[in-house]
Amino acid sequence: MKKLLLFVLAAFAVQLGAQDLGHYKKIIKELSSEKYQGRGYAEDGANKAGRWIAKEFAKVGADEVIQQPFTLNINTFPGKMDVAVDGKKLVPGVDFTLREFNPGLKGEFGIYYIDTLNYNPDKIFADLESPQYKGAFVVCDFMFTYKHSADFRRIASKEQCSCSGMLYTWETPLKFYKAYGEKVREKPILWVRPDFPKDARTIKVNMENEFLENYGCFNVIAKVEGRRHDSCLVFTAHYDHLGKLGKKTYYPGAHDNASGTAAIITLAAHYAKNTPEYDMYFIAFSGEDANLRGSEWYAEHPVVPLSQIKYLINLDMIADNNPMLYCEVSKEGMPGFGLFEKINAEKGYFKALDRQELADNSDHYPFAVRNVPCIFFMNEHGDAYKYYHTVHDTWENAIFNSYEPVFNLIKEFVEKQR
């Protein structure tokens, strides 16, 4: 009876170790905290997070942890971020955000509204060169600009239009991006709420940017040795995020992508205690929000040949509650995806695995185009999805429903690799 009790307790302990929800939550809370300032590039936020992640991989028992350095050029906004319309101050991240390529600007300017009902480009350009509106900020609905993109490219050009900047109304909560921040463009573009005043007269701005050239970043690579070394399984997630918008506003990035980073750390912890068949690499990439710079660098400078990767599984934004699991798969990854579908059909972890077209939207893509078997998982369009790339992507708004199903789906997939 005593032996049976010990066996049951041991099995229960293994199960607890397999999917450590408490550890997962703790990691997300840590990485989305104020100390990392949104894990961006200003004030060394991403690198501070990377160093913590490296220590965490070592702490959970990885056999080897290294940092792979690379550099990037990136525009940042850690300084003054003051915007007022007709004397009323706007709140960064809530009432307005910026395009990532914006220059700094200081001054007070008039406001010109695009007449979308009686749209006349010739009149608009004539108005913007008139004494009344010369140097004004132009206000327009963001989606309308897509229909007339050639005209708005002219408005954004200093040579072709003397306006000082653009204010584009967009749906809330307002999003912020970094993908095109590798250089600074001529004029600022601000996204503002749909309820932006229809008759404002002036805008006063004091916005500072800091362009970081050859800024040093690094990927964190942890290895757990398996019984076989001729092939490996690779698990990836990006740990960088959007950083700051002014001195006080930062983007926590709990869902995007502290959630994926936390998942690969807990996977490393599990396999450090349960020796896998093949070597395993757990790679936390930086530079994803700067147009996949970290994963692109790794794909060009792998620590083991890409040809040895049996499968690469990328996790991005998995802290949500959609019963469907979004997936992208490279051509070479389709046999593995078939196995994932079989496991899911048997165990019912998700209502379905929703496979979509392969896209350059996360860190699997640089590997997929190099013919590596890749599978990308993301739990999107749940209740947390509306917060991604906003200041509301916080620990408090994170949802943890999908962690255990994703973890167990991957664990069973690994167990069938022979």
Query: What whole-number distance in Å separates Cα of residue 78 and Cα of residue 209?
Result: 7
Query: What whole-number distance in Å separates Cα of residue 385 and Cα of residue 91?
Result: 22
pLDDT at residue 62 tops 70: yes
Percent of the chain with pLDDT over 90: 94
pLDDT tens string 151-183: 999 999 999 999 999 999 999 999 999 999 999
Query: What whole-number distance in Å separates Cα of residue 290 and Cα of residue 182?
Result: 8
Compare 364 and 9 and report the one with higher pLDDT: 364
413's enclosing H/E stretch is helix 403-415
Report yes or no: 310 and 370 within 8 Å, Cβ to Cβ. Answer: no
Residues 6+ apart with CB under 8 A from 188: 98, 99, 102, 103, 105, 164, 165, 166, 205, 207
This prediction's pTM:
0.93
Q: How far apart are the first and last CA of the chain?
A: 36
Q: What is the mean pLDDT of residues 54-58?
A: 98
List, edge to edge, every strand of the sheet that includes 105-113: 88-89, 81-85, 202-207, 105-113, 137-141, 165-169, 189-192, 96-98
- Cis omega (within 30 of 0) on the bond before 173? yes
pLDDT tens string 232-283: 999 999 999 999 999 999 999 999 999 999 999 999 999 999 999 999 999 9
- Using H for helix, E for strand and C for coil, what is the string for 341-380? HHHHHHHCCCCEEEEECCCCCCCCHHHHCCCCCEEEEECC
The domains found in the chain, sorted by start residue, are 19-72+213-415 (3.40.630.10), 81-207 (3.50.30)
Count of C-beta atoms within a 10 Å radius of residue 110: 16
Q: How far is CA 84 from CA 96, 231, 250, 359, in A?
A: 10, 58, 20, 39
Q: What is the mean pLDDT of residues 212-239?
A: 97
Query: What whole-number distance in Å separates Cα of residue 233 and Cα of residue 414?
Result: 8
Please report the pLDDT score of residue 366 as a whole number: 98
Helix or strand or coil: residue 382?
coil
Q: What is the mean pLDDT of residues 370-382?
A: 96
Q: What is the mean pLDDT of residues 58-70?
A: 98
Q: What is the mean pLDDT of residues 280-293?
A: 98
Mean pLDDT of the chain: 94
Q: What is the mean pLDDT of residues 46-52?
A: 98
Query: What whole-number distance in Å separates Cα of residue 87 and Cα of residue 133?
Result: 19
pLDDT at residue 17 tops 80: no
Handedness of CA 222, 319, 243, 249 (dihedral sign): negative
pLDDT tens string 126-148: 999 999 999 999 999 999 998 99
